Amino acid sequence: MEDKFSDKPHRMSDDPAVDLITSIYARHSVRGYLDKPVPHEILDRIFEIAQMAPSNCNVQPWKVYVASGALKDRLRDQMVANTVGGVKPNSDYPYRGDFSGEYRKRQVDCAVALYKNMDIQREDKEGRLRAIVRNFEFFDAPHIAFIGMNPEFGATVALDVGMYAQTFMLTLVAHGLASCPMGTMRNYPDLVRDAFDIKDGTKILFGICFGYEDPAVPANKTRTFREVISSSVTFRQS
């Protein structure tokens, strides 16, 4: 995609998109997509908007690699083969999944809601494996974005990458598209580096699959709920 940035100020009326608050409430993780690629001109505009995300000292640390078509299919097949074959993940960044207390409860509640819609019972090991494999099939999305950064950056700058991802996902919603952020996309980073000929030391943090939601997929009925703000926000004046 060519760089379409210019010195001309952008007019909000140029984009037929929904408003920010509607996008925030509408965004949810979508695990099933239509076989319908997003036109390149729309992709260009979405990534142009996402580039406006805030960052520490404007360093813009994110690196984004978008696979579509035959390359996406090749990465899908390789990752599925690794997962089914029991190839041990070699993540660039370690993942701590040992949540406890209230955080563990929310994690379990989310899994229960998702598996219920997918009609997967607790004792259904085959069904659970299939659910895991679906991640590496990118949920049939036409596009998958792998997001990384230079390992010299620490946690502070990694927050910038998170803000970029949120800006990107909300912009997708505003343009009638859906997405699913996936930590599992960090499992086999060497495949991504090989696919995109990455030689600058970039390490892969996570991935986001995206496209047009398929409303017929049962998993897409899943919704999670947010706690009241008093559970996480404290107001004081003195």
Q: What is the rounded distance in angstroms from the CA atom of residue 197 to the CA atom of residue 235? A: 49
pLDDT score, position 209: 98
Task: Please tell me the pTM assigned to this model.
Answer: 0.88
Q: What is the pLDDT of residue 4?
A: 45
* pLDDT tens string 167-219: 999 999 999 999 999 999 999 999 999 999 999 999 999 999 999 999 999 99
Higher pLDDT: 118 or 139? It is: 139
Q: How far apart are CA 61 and CA 34, in angstroms?
A: 32
Identify the CA nearest to 139 among candidates 169, 177, 179. 179
DSSP 29: B
Widest pairwise Cα distance in the chain: 60
pLDDT the model gives residue 3: 46
- The pLDDT, as a whole number, for residue 17 is 65
* Residue-range domains of the chain with CATH: 18-95+137-222 (3.40.109.10)
pLDDT tens-place string over residues 20-73: 899 999 999 999 999 999 999 999 999 999 999 999 999 999 999 999 999 999
**Do strands 203-211 and 178-182 pair parallel, antiparallel, or not at all (unpaired)?**
antiparallel
> What per-residue confidence (pLDDT) applies to 197?
98
